[in-house]
Every structure is written in C-alpha cells, then in structure tokens.
Amino acid sequence: MKLIFAFLFSWISLIFQSDSGIQPKKITDKWFPEPDIVINTPAFQKKSGFTNHREMMSFLENLKLEHPQEINIEWIGESQKGKSMPLVRIKTSNKTKLKVWLQGGLHGDEPASTEGILYLISEIFKPENKDLLNHFEWAIVPMANIDGYENHDRYAANGLDLNRDQTKLMIQESISLKKALCQFEPDLALDFHEFRPYRKDFLEMGTAGLGSAYDVMILNSSNLNVPQNQREITQNYFVNPLMEQLSSLGYRVHDYFTTDTHLNFLYLSQGSSNARSSATSFALTGAISTLFEIRGVGLGRTSFKRRTHSTFLCAKSYLESAVKHTDEILEALNHPSDNNMVVIKTQNDQNDQRVLMVDLFTKDTTSIILPTKDAKNLVATKQRKIPQYYLVHPSAKAIIDRLSWFQLSHDTFASAQTLTIESYQLKESCEPSPIEFEGVYRQDCDYDVVSQTINLPAGTLRFPVNQRKGRILLEILEPDVPNSLMSYQVLNANQYPVLPYYRLP
C-alpha cells in the first residue's frame, strides 16, 4: 500500500513539475515560506516566467536615469546569438576603498541569481545603504549567459557550460567575462548560482524521495595554490559571519556539496578546488571570492522571493564584512603568504557529513549521514618549486591568447637570449581521453621538468609569478595540474613533446 502510494505520489509530482516545480505546497509553506518584503525587480512584475534581457535592460536604464552620475552601462561583448552583454559600473565617490565584481546568470536556469543582483542594485541606492554604496567601486554582470537565461537552459547556445570554462576559455561569453573581470581587478568577486534540491540520487531515498533542506550553500575555494592568508580571510571574515547571519534569519545553510555514486554507493562531494570554475579562478586572480548556491533549480517560481532574498543577503553580508575588514583584505591581497611550492596534485579528506533533508513523504525534515569526499581539507601529494617567471615562445599563440585574456603583466624580449631554463618534456606518448568533456578531449600526461640552456627568440614573453593575478599562471601553465591548458588539449601533447613554454627558476 505504502509503495503504491509512493508510486502515485511521484507521478503526481512529475505532473506538477512543469509549472510549479516538484515540491509539494505543504513543504513550501512549512519550510520555505516567502519573506515579508517587497521586491520590485522585473520578474516580480509578472505572474510567470523570469526576467528576460529586454526587461533587464529597461530596469537598468531606468535606474541609470535616476542616478545618471553614478551608473554607467558598458558592453563587454555579445552572446552567441548576438545579444549585448551589459556590465553595470557604479562609482559614487572618489574615496572608494575596494573594488567588487558581482555576477549572476552564468547558468541560465538559475534565475534567483540575476534577480537577486537586480534587487541588490536597486537597494544599494537607498539612503540607508549610502556608506556601503560609497565604499566600493562596482562592476556587475547581472546576466552572464543571456542565451541560456532566455531559454531557461543551464548552458550557452553551443551547449557548453560557462562555469567549466574558466581556464580553457573556449566560449566567447567566457572570454568577454574574463577580459572584463581581469581588467577591473576586483578585490572581492562573487558569483551567484542556484542548485537542484531534488537531485536524482536524493529522489531514490526514503519512501517518496528526499530533497535538500538548505536555502544556501557556500563554495569558497580550497585550492592550495590560492595563498593561505587569502583562504583564511575568506573563511573567517566572510563565510563564517554569513552562515551565522543566515541561520539567525531562519535560512538553512551548509558548505557546498553535491552527490555522486561509486559502485552504486552514494557519497557527498564537498567543497571545490577546481580552477575551471569561478570561485577558484577568481581567487587565483587575486580576489576574495565565493560562489553561492541558492536552493532553486527545478522549482519553477516556487519560493522565488525567498530565493531572490537569499541571493541578496549573501551579497549584502559579504559587502558588510568587506567594509569591516578592508585593511586586512588589502594587506592579504597585496602580501600573499609565501609559498615556495606549486601544488600539482592533491588528495581529498574522507569523512562523514550529516546533512539536513526534507522528506517528500512525511513533509518533515530529517538528517542523513553520508560518506564524504571533502575538498575543503586537501593534502598536497605532488609539488614542485615555484618558478620566478614563465617564458612563452612567441609561436605558442593559443597559450599567449589565454594569458592575454587574463591580462597578466609581462614583458617581451627585444632580442634573442640564451638562458638556462626548465622545460617540460613529455615522459611517454599520451593519448587524449576518448570521451568528450565540454567540447574537448582531455589529456592527462606526465612530464619531466628538465634544466637546459636554450636560445629564445626576440618576441618571447616573460610573465612574473609575483604579480596580483600571478597564481593563475601556476594552474594554467603547469601541464599536469588538473585544469591546466594542456589538460584541455589547448595544445596536443604528442605534437609538443617539449612544451613551447618554460620555467625560469
């Protein structure tokens, strides 16, 4: 009987999934009630659907009419379908202390990110937020993936994921975003998303399935090539206060996790150190950075005000923390902790995590304990000495393009030079993976680092590691790091048994 009921229940859930999402109203009312606030952004002016590009632009243009001196709208590029990508620049005072980058809509089916940012832009002009407004110079991309957003689709128009493209930079929107962000050089860089609470794995649990009970998950980078003082400041001055603040307002919060299965065995994967995604990429280019996941994908318009408010609260808490700790932030970003080693490979911690779920059958919350691969606590298993410079042969165009999009400081040899450098030599022939990942066939190859004296031509580019964005060089150029340019076959490994770029110790 119980089984038949559960079966009927999942059918009913599926029928209602299309317009109101999968979640029964009883659960929404009990665990995810709407906050008692008024939000006047475009999606809240209509009964269904979300803000489109045209509505966003007219919202922004109206705000600009109200604040013509402070707001500037720049165009940083075009979507694949030819829609202009706006960057909202705000500067009200000449005494700004910090630069902040905010972006939403990188995944097109995560609408509370864009809506929350639009809400924030209108709120910061209210008199009570004047100090906050004046403290920062702002650069805001409310809708990063316009084509995806208008289709309510996670991916860009060519089917690729903009948040797997932060090192390989093969999607035109990613290149525009990376150039704009790296030119702006933010101190604080925040990326807003939504997550799917009713993952397939969870729906197979319990009588009628479970879903995540969290309103917000927080993903700050644990990548060991991000300076330690920068990671500590992010955790202690930003993540911890936000967690306390959200909890005190009745919003449930957890470190970011996702699920995976191994041999039919479900486990959690917590945290992330992947430079292919925003939080780590932004941190490696010298910003205090976090990716926020709001509970939303698959819910339609359910709890949309709560989700938009959650986005807003995350941003506001981080901005207030930044005001409070401005000196410490600047000190850490300008004097990153020394690390003589570049971390090539790491190992996750293994532990058990208790997570809070909602039960679709009982309509109550329940906690479950799952084995966890925890990337929040990484141990380095392979390292090599940090070089002082990377030297790039002028023929390596695909590499030079990407370094130029990151806008890294460098100089260029005016004449040929003979130097003792370290080259990367392929240990044995290395075949790319037969399985396509994000438009490429990845390669995971082993290299020897060999000291040799060579002649480098005029036009060779020299990039110092010791610069604000210098840590990104380690992750994109060391070929055996997980998200390096070589791992994405920006150059084919077998065609370059010796790589056309070098380390200068």
Residue with nearest beta carbon to Zn ion: 193
CB of 465 closer than 8 Å to CB of 387: yes
**Residue 136 vs 155, nearer CB to Zn ion:** 155
Least distance to Zn ion from the beta carbon of 466, Å? 33
> Residue 390: helix, strand or coil by DSSP?
strand
User: What minimum distance in Å lies between the beta carbon of 107 and Zn ion?
Assistant: 3
**Residue (of 483, 482, 488) closest to 346 by Cα position:** 482
In the bound state with Zn ion, the residue whose beta carbon lies nearer, of 258 and 489, is 258
Taking CA atoms, 45 is separated from 70, 73, 203, 297, 308, in Å, by 26, 23, 33, 21, 14
Among residues 194 and 422, whose Cβ is nearest to Zn ion? 194
Task: Identify which of residues 107 and 462 has a Cβ nearer to Zn ion in the complex.
Answer: 107
24/300 with CB nearer Zn ion: 300
Q: Which is nearer to Zn ion, 193 or 402 (CB)?
A: 193
208/201 Cα distance (integer angstroms)? 12
> Which residues inside 196-235 make contact with Zn ion, applying CB under 5 A?
none
CA distance 114 to 141: 9
410: contact with Zn ion by CB under 5 A: no
**157 to 186, contacts with Zn ion by CB under 5 A?**
none
Residue 171 buriedness (CB in 10 A; 0-12 / 13-18 / 19+): buried
Report in angstroms how near the CB of residue 181 gets to Zn ion at its nearest.
17
Q: To the nearest whole angstrom, how small is the minimum distance from the Cβ of residue 291 to Zn ion?
A: 8
Rounded CA separation 268/262 (Å): 11
Q: How far is CA 417 from CA 393, 397, 486, in A?
A: 12, 20, 26
Burial class of residue 375 in the structure, from the number of CB atoms within 10 Å of its CB (0-12 exposed, 13-18 middle, 19+ buried): buried
| Closest listed residue to residue 41, CA positions, set 21, 61, 56, 22 | 56
Q: How far is 248 from 250, CA to CA, in rounded Å?
A: 5
Q: Which stretch binds Zn ion (CB under 5 A): 133-141, 187-195, 228-236, 351-359?
A: 187-195
Q: How many residues of this chain interact with Zn ion, rule: CB under 5 A? A: 3
Task: Write out the E strands in 18-83.
Answer: 71-78
User: Minimum distance between the CB of residue 195 and Zn ion, rounded to whole angstroms?
Assistant: 7
Q: Whose Cβ is closer to Zn ion: residue 110's or residue 187's? A: 110
Of 110 and 475, which CB lies nearer to Zn ion in the complex structure?
110
**Nearer Cβ to Zn ion, position 318 or 389?**
318
Closer to Zn ion at the Cβ: 258 or 377? 258
State the binding string over 274-303 for Zn ion (x if CB under 5 A, else -): ------------------------------
Q: Which region, judged by CB under 5 A, interacts with Zn ion, from 110-118, 260-268, 310-318, 455-463?
A: 110-118
Cβ atoms 211, 198 nearer than 8 A: yes
Cα–Cα distances in angstroms (integers) from residue 222 to residues 225, 227, 270, 279, in the given order: 9, 10, 10, 9
Which of the ranges 8-16, 101-109, 120-128, 426-434 carries the binding residues for Zn ion, by CB under 5 A? 101-109
Q: Which helix (H) or strand (E) holds 378?
A: strand 365-385
Binding window for Zn ion (CB under 5 A); candidates: 79-87, 108-116, 435-443, 475-483: 108-116
Least distance from Zn ion to the Cβ atom of residue 110, Å: 5
Between residues 21 and 470, which has the closer beta carbon with respect to Zn ion? 21
Asked whether 252 and 197 are in contact (CB, 8 A), the reply is no
Query: Which one of 168, 193, 462, 471 is in contact with Zn ion (CB under 5 A)?
Result: 193
Are 356 and 345 within 8 A, CB to CB? no
- Beta-carbon contacts of 459 under 8 Å, excluding residues fewer than 6 positions away, are 394, 412, 413
Sole window of 106-114, 202-210, 212-220, 445-453 interacting with Zn ion (rule: CB under 5 A): 106-114
DSSP 307: H
> What are the backbone angles phi and psi of residue 251, rounded to the nearest 5°?
-100, 130
Residue 106 Cβ, how far from Zn ion at the closest point, in Å? Answer: 6
Q: Shortest distance, CB of residue 58 to Zn ion, whole angstroms?
A: 26
Q: E strands, 184-276, where?
A: 188-195, 210-212, 216-219, 253-255, 257-262, 265-270
Only segment of 15-23, 99-107, 241-249, 451-459 that touches Zn ion (CB under 5 A): 99-107
Q: In terms of CB distance, is 107 or 376 closer to Zn ion?
A: 107
Question: Cβ of residue 162: shortest distance to Zn ion, in angstroms?
Answer: 9
CB of 15 to Zn ion, least distance (A): 27
- Binding window for Zn ion (CB under 5 A); candidates: 40-48, 74-82, 188-196, 281-289: 188-196
Element at 291 (helix H, strand E): strand 288-295
User: Looking at beta carbons only, is 163 or 487 nearer to Zn ion?
Assistant: 163
Range list of β-strands (E), 122-215: 136-141, 188-195, 210-212
Of 104-112, 127-135, 308-316, 384-392, the segment contacting Zn ion by CB under 5 A is: 104-112
Residue 107 interacts with Zn ion (CB under 5 A): yes or no: yes
Query: Is position 503 an interface residue for Zn ion (rule: CB under 5 A)?
Result: no
Please report, as ranges, the residues that interact with Zn ion according to CB under 5 A: 107, 110, 193
